[in-house]
Amino acid sequence: MIRAIREAQVGDVIAVLSTDSGSRRDIPKWCEKAGQELVGINHVDDYDRIVVRKVH
């Protein structure tokens, strides 16, 4: 995900689809530290969809 953020433009929205339960904990923590916007998390079928917007 960090690689996608690195390559994205400010304003881009990136969705991470993850079956690793750690992602729904780690990604919000990263957003908080990096000052990026966590748009939301929802559970789809057997994975989590975690959406982040690059704000700077």
The DSSP letter of residue 22 is: T
Give whichever of 43 and 56 is closer to other proteins, judged by the CB atom: 56
Q: What's the min distance (Å) between Cβ of 20 and other proteins?
A: 10
- Rounded to whole angstroms, the Cα distance separating 49 from 30 reads 16
- Rounded to whole angstroms, the Cα distance separating 7 from 45 reads 28
- Site size for other proteins (CB under 8 A): 11
Q: What's the min distance (Å) between Cβ of 36 and other proteins?
A: 9
Residues that bind other proteins (CB under 8 A): 2-3, 5-6, 22, 26, 29-30, 33-35
